[in-house]
A and B are shown apart, each in its own frame.
Chain A
Amino acid sequence: MAVAEAAPELLSPAEIDRAFRDPFSPSKRTKATSWIVLLAVLTAFPLVFTNPAVTSIGVFTMFFLLAVVGWNIFSGYSGYISIGHAVYYGFGQYTVALLIMHLGITSGVSELAIVPLAGLAGAAVAVPVGLLVLRVRRHTFIVLTIAVMFIFQLLAFNFPSITGGSTGLNVTPPPWSGNDYNLPFYYIALGTAAIGLLTSWAVRRSKFGLGLLAIRDDEDRAKGLGIKVTRAKLIALVLSAFFVGIAGGLYAIFIGQVFPQFAFTPFYDLYLAVFAFVGGLGTLSGPVFGALLLGPLQQYFELQFGATTLYLIIYGVLFVVILLALPRGIVPSLADRYRTFLASRWRRAEERRGVEGSGVTAGSMIASAPGAAPAERGGS
């Protein structure tokens, strides 16, 4: 209510506009520039830090980046938190491993060339899985996604003739060495993540995306407005599964082995959910920040403390701290604080200036906020 108590100086229409719209709204150009700078930094990274230990952390981070951007297209926009995206991740892994094995592919380039099929496999399996799990909402949905994920893990264990069971499958690694080995994976994952981000952006801007956001807010209302909710959710899930499937395919070739418990693993979705939550669920840039901040941290923890799973506790604590301090995630919370800061600074500047203008004052605008003016003006 600090505004209402402010001295009633007169504001021009443009200034009222500024006061009641978003005081911090980066221009399209600023946004585009930031993305290009980020892309340039990520592109240059493995060329600057050539140590294979560092670039392999980079590769895993890019895999996470790709997957979390995909995950966000479904869970972030629709609000359906999936802890079962490892289904598509694992499906991508097995698809690539089986194809390489049965087609006898040996060259690294051809191995990477079949990775898009991992994405398609993930997307394809998302249709029946989606039709099943999307029948329920909220907590039930979360539990059901986990259950379905474990069913796939059990299937992978129990069909050794296809999956190799608990002995897993071996993928002949591409015959590259040293740092050269990491680079193709790094750039393919980065490039696919960029495509994923463009997809995410296009979804967010589209009517389809608006429908998803409406579903996130209130699904029944969305239905009442004529949105075909099941179809919208399923399309988002399929898009999302495509990118996660590609992450799985790349991972299988990079690591050279596929095991049921690492392909269909609950940890994978915990990472994705934490990255997205920390960065800012359902925003375009949030998952990117989340993956770039926490991806390397996850790798560091795993390398340092990987012998035990104690690092998961540290991770959990970090998650809780961020949820408490910045409940909406880093990007939305910081953006809000910055807006508040700019707005208060602007207000103080206005108080000092005391501008004369159209006769509308900050105080009167606030006082009439419940809409006294609009209805009268509407008649003209």
Chain B
Amino acid sequence: MLVFEGVFAGYGGSDVLRGVDLVVEKGSLTCVVGPNGAGKSTLMKLVSGLLHPRVGKLEFQGNSIARAAPRQILKQGIVQVMQARNLFPELTVRENVELGAFLISDDALVKRRYAEVCEMFPIVGERAKDRAGALSGGQQRMVEFARALMLDPLLVSLDEPSMGLEPRAAKIIYDSIVKMHENGRTVLLVEQNVRAGLERATRGIVMEAGRVRLEGTGAEVLANPQMRALYLGGTIEEGAVSSSAAARSGSATYQN
């Protein structure tokens, strides 16, 4: 559904992503993890159109989105919930959610979608008239999710949705991500919390130093011994690792 092929991208001349190849399959919950500086956030910027690849192919459903503006990407059906807080704090919860459907001119459809997201995220209906800035961090995340679903996107990309949340609130956020996925949406998730992210993912991808180093099902990647090496310091050694990774964790493959 979403394909990266040999993507190089970065800021001001230096590349953060150095040849990323990865595929987000339709209907998957793909979780990208990796240490700081691996290029996860840069990857997300490419998906939302805030940054364009320097070289390489970036396709969504067969169409290139390498040079698409954020608005065009929205129209193609990719909605992103960005890192940190993204609501309009002075507007009400309802207004915030309705802004998610700004591109839809059919008011009846907006109303219907609003009713749908209220059902999925009851907090939206309960606090509809409150200023969004008055909600707690976890509640604001839910409202952001609700806003993202207003366009009925094909792909939802989430940039570290649990960041800054206490464990209980984070769990609720993970649960609603799973729910979004179960409702038939393709989800691309970038997470710092490796275990929480990969446990729920159908597909796990490990990035390091601007490249994809490991991929497999969420559980496979989680079980891979190289993960420990990566997170306790050190890198995944090329060559040597690929055989051991494949041997120890079944189908988890190492990409060169």
The listed residue (A216, A227, A374) touching B123 by CB distance below 8 A is A374
Contacts of B102 in A (CB 8 A): 207, 210-211, 225-227
B:158-191 near A, CB below 8 Å: 166, 168-169, 172, 175-176, 179
Inter-chain contact B172/A372, CB cutoff 8 Å: yes
Cβ distance A150 to chain B, nearest Cβ, rounded Å = 32
- Known interface pairs A20-B126, A217-B89, A225-B100; A374-B70 also in contact (CB < 8 Å): no
Chain B residue nearest to A228 in the complex (CB):
B71
Cβ distance A201 to chain B, nearest Cβ, rounded Å = 16
Contacts of B175 in A (CB 8 A): 375
Chain A residue nearest to B89 in the complex (CB):
A217
Interface string of A365-380 (1 = CB under 8 A from B): 0000111111101110
- Known interface pairs A221-B86, A378-B120, A378-B122; A372-B168 also in contact (CB < 8 Å): yes
A:217-253 near B, CB below 8 Å: 217-218, 221-227
Inter-chain contact A214/B136, CB cutoff 8 Å: no
Chain A at the B interface: SS class: helix
B:98-142 near A, CB below 8 Å: 98-100, 102-103, 119-123, 126-127, 129-130, 136-139, 142
B:188-235 near A, CB below 8 Å: none
- Alpha-carbon gap, A127 to B22, bound state (A): 47
- Known interface pairs A213-B91, A371-B138; A226-B168 also in contact (CB < 8 Å): no
Inter-chain contact B103/A226, CB cutoff 8 Å: yes
Q: Is the C-beta of A22 less than 8 angstroms from some C-beta in chain B?
A: yes
Contacts of A20 in B (CB 8 A): 126-127, 130
Contacts of A379 in B (CB 8 A): 179
Cβ distance A75 to chain B, nearest Cβ, rounded Å = 15
Q: Is the C-beta of B238 less than 8 angstroms from some C-beta in chain A?
A: no
Q: Is the C-beta of B90 less than 8 angstroms from some C-beta in chain A?
A: yes
Inter-chain contact B136/A371, CB cutoff 8 Å: yes
The listed residue (B82, B88, B119, B169) touching A370 by CB distance below 8 A is B169
Q: Is the C-beta of B1 less than 8 angstroms from some C-beta in chain A?
A: no
Q: Is the C-beta of A21 less than 8 angstroms from some C-beta in chain B?
A: yes
The listed residue (A214, A218, A226) touching B71 by CB distance below 8 A is A226
Inter-chain contact A216/B90, CB cutoff 8 Å: yes
Inter-chain contact A371/B142, CB cutoff 8 Å: yes
Contacts of A216 in B (CB 8 A): 90
The listed residue (A22, A25, A225, A371) touching B99 by CB distance below 8 A is A225
Cβ distance A183 to chain B, nearest Cβ, rounded Å = 41
- Alpha-carbon gap, A22 to B134, bound state (A): 13
From A218, A225, A227, A379, name the one whose CB has the most chain B CB atoms within 10 angstroms. Answer: A225
Contacts of B98 in A (CB 8 A): 207, 210
From B71, B82, B99, B179, name the one whose CB has the most chain A CB atoms within 10 angstroms. Answer: B99
Cβ distance B218 to chain A, nearest Cβ, rounded Å = 21
Inter-chain contact B123/A371, CB cutoff 8 Å: yes
- Alpha-carbon gap, A13 to B91, bound state (A): 25
Contacts of B123 in A (CB 8 A): 371, 374
- Alpha-carbon gap, A29 to B122, bound state (A): 29
B:47-70 near A, CB below 8 Å: 48, 70
- Alpha-carbon gap, A216 to B172, bound state (A): 31
Contacts of A225 in B (CB 8 A): 74, 99-100, 102-103
Contacts of A207 in B (CB 8 A): 98, 102
Contacts of B169 in A (CB 8 A): 370-371
- Known interface pairs A20-B127, A211-B102, A226-B102; A371-B139 also in contact (CB < 8 Å): yes
Cβ distance B13 to chain A, nearest Cβ, rounded Å = 24
Inter-chain contact A224/B129, CB cutoff 8 Å: no
Chain B residue nearest to A375 in the complex (CB):
B172
Contacts of A370 in B (CB 8 A): 136-139, 166, 168-169
- Alpha-carbon gap, A217 to B130, bound state (A): 15
- Alpha-carbon gap, A25 to B128, bound state (A): 14
The listed residue (B86, B130, B176) touching A378 by CB distance below 8 A is B176
- Alpha-carbon gap, A210 to B119, bound state (A): 23
Inter-chain contact A369/B91, CB cutoff 8 Å: no
- Alpha-carbon gap, A211 to B119, bound state (A): 25
Interface string of A182-222 (1 = CB under 8 A from B): 00000000000000000000000001001101101110011
- Alpha-carbon gap, A154 to B179, bound state (A): 64
Contacts of B137 in A (CB 8 A): 370
Contacts of B21 in A (CB 8 A): none
From A207, A222, A224, name the one whose CB has the most chain B CB atoms within 10 angstroms. Answer: A224
- Alpha-carbon gap, A119 to B169, bound state (A): 54
Inter-chain contact A21/B90, CB cutoff 8 Å: no
Contacts of A222 in B (CB 8 A): 88, 99
- Alpha-carbon gap, A372 to B103, bound state (A): 32
Q: Is the C-beta of B95 less than 8 angstroms from some C-beta in chain A?
A: yes
Contacts of B103 in A (CB 8 A): 225-226
Cβ distance B121 to chain A, nearest Cβ, rounded Å = 6
B:27-57 near A, CB below 8 Å: 48
Contacts of A221 in B (CB 8 A): 86, 88
- Alpha-carbon gap, A216 to B130, bound state (A): 18
A:318-363 near B, CB below 8 Å: none
Given contacts A20-B127, A226-B102, A370-B137, 14 further A-B contacts (CB under 8 A): A25-B129, A213-B95, A216-B90, A217-B91, A225-B100, A226-B74, A227-B99, A369-B139, A371-B139, A371-B172, A372-B168, A372-B172, A374-B142, A377-B122
29 chain-A/chain-B pairs, Cβ below 8 angstroms: A210-B95, A210-B98, A210-B99, A211-B102, A213-B91, A213-B95, A214-B91, A217-B91, A218-B88, A221-B86, A221-B88, A223-B71, A224-B70, A225-B74, A225-B100, A226-B75, A227-B99, A369-B136, A369-B139, A370-B137, A370-B169, A371-B138, A371-B142, A372-B172, A374-B121, A374-B172, A375-B172, A377-B122, A378-B122
Give the top 4 A-B pairs by smallest Cβ distance, nearest first.
A217-B88, A374-B123, A375-B172, A374-B122
